[in-house]
Amino acid sequence: MHTDKNALTDTFNRSINYLRVSITDHCNLHCQYCTPRDGKTKHTNLLSYEEILRIVRLAVELGIKKVRLTGGEPLVRRGVIPFIQRLAQVDGLSEIRLTTNGVLLEGMLHDLQRAGLEKLNISLDSLRPRRFEEITGSACFAKVWRGIEKALEMGFPVIKLNVVAMRGVNDDEFIDFARLTIKQPLDIRFIEFMPVGLAGAGQQAKFISTADIMTMIAPLGELQPIKSQRLHGPARMFKLPGAAGSLGFISPLSNHFCDTCNRLRLTSQGRLRSCLLTDREEDLKGPLRSGASDEDIRRLLIQTIINKPKGHTLTQGQKTGSCHGEMSRIGG
């Protein structure tokens, strides 16, 4: 483990430069596999924006370059726009990203753009309004879609749509999602279903591998690999012939990317987690609220990175994972 101005490097020589922050575990959707209906944390148990900013500043001093805001649904937390503005002023932080379900996007896009956010990840598991409602418990597909269209009109340079691939749920739509990239500059990314939290409990028959997803969209033409860029993260990227957008495949189970994992996570309740799929966490909220010094917090950040496991141990088709935490709290 060493730290220098530009890098936090862990025991397995991975540079840790990416912090994902769940700013709330509250969500305005209740996806079957993700958010429990009664799971909301009391506001005082959440880190305050001030506390998050303090952790981010210290993490950036140690080498974090990129922060992603997630949740729960980050856009439901009051004051998120001024918070992003303040985050954008953290010296040395080169990228801020947001992952959203898109429900509130349409009305917030101008503010988000003004706050300095350029790249959007929008989660969308179905293009069919009725099915969207079955999966999420809310009839707001049209709202989400208007948000996506407006983001395209406003020229956001990166708009990624994240689709969790689920056998028997949305597998008949993969080809429709892929087809969207032909005319629109969208990055459609298929994510393998992970046995995490609610999704671990008997839902694993829904798992479908990247290889199978690729077979299903093969009728659209040969997938042309795009040279991997830092921007793509763990996705393997392709284009359909002549397409405006791209296709990405994120395969945490069938082809895991632990060897190159550069992530650290801060949960909505102020716990640091070095692996999404391993339950070990380090509490920061307690120390923060009992007068810990910056040096103490730095030590905890470094300790978490030292303890980052070499890889997760989940396997394809596993019925219950070693990760029992809820995605909404950890931040997907």
Tokens representing 213? 């997803």
279 C-beta neighbours (distance < 10 Å), count: 12
Q: What gap in Å lies between CA 144 and CA 318, rounded to an integer?
A: 32
Q: What gap in Å lies between CA 246 and CA 184, rounded to an integer?
A: 9
Closest approach, Cβ 105 to ligand SAM, in A, equals: 11
33 binds ligand SAM, rule: CB under 6 A? yes
100 binds ligand SAM, rule: CB under 6 A? yes
21 binds ligand SAM, rule: CB under 6 A? no
101 binds ligand SAM, rule: CB under 6 A? yes
Residue with tokens 């008997």, as numbered in its chain: 202
Task: Give the residue with the Cβ less far from ligand SAM, 128 or 298.
Answer: 128
Q: What gap in Å lies between CA 316 and CA 193, rounded to an integer?
A: 9
Measured in degrees and rounded to the nearest 5, phi and psi for residue 245 equal -110, -165
327 binds ligand SAM, rule: CB under 6 A? yes
Closest approach, Cβ 2 to ligand SAM, in A, equals: 32
Contacts with ligand SAM: how many residues (CB under 6 A)? 20
193 binds ligand SAM, rule: CB under 6 A? yes
Q: How far is CA 112 from CA 82, 181, 276, 320, 332, in A?
A: 10, 24, 27, 38, 20
- Containing 286, the helix (H) or strand (E) segment is helix 285-289
27 binds ligand SAM, rule: CB under 6 A? yes
328 binds ligand SAM, rule: CB under 6 A? yes
Choose the binding region for ligand SAM from 69-77, 135-143, 149-157, 276-284 (rule: CB under 6 A). Answer: 69-77
Instruction: State which of positions 111-130 bind ligand SAM (CB under 6 A).
Output: 123
What is the DSSP pairing of strand 2-3 with strand 8-9? antiparallel
Q: What gap in Å lies between CA 127 and CA 235, rounded to an integer?
A: 22
194 binds ligand SAM, rule: CB under 6 A? yes
277 binds ligand SAM, rule: CB under 6 A? no
**Which residue's CB atom is positioned nearest to ligand SAM?**
332
248 binds ligand SAM, rule: CB under 6 A? no
Task: Give the residue with the Cβ less far from ligand SAM, 162 or 262.
Answer: 162
3-state secondary structure 4-18: CCCCEECCCCCEECE
Residues that bind ligand SAM (CB under 6 A): 27, 33-34, 70-71, 73, 99-101, 123, 162, 164, 191, 193-194, 196, 199, 327-328, 332
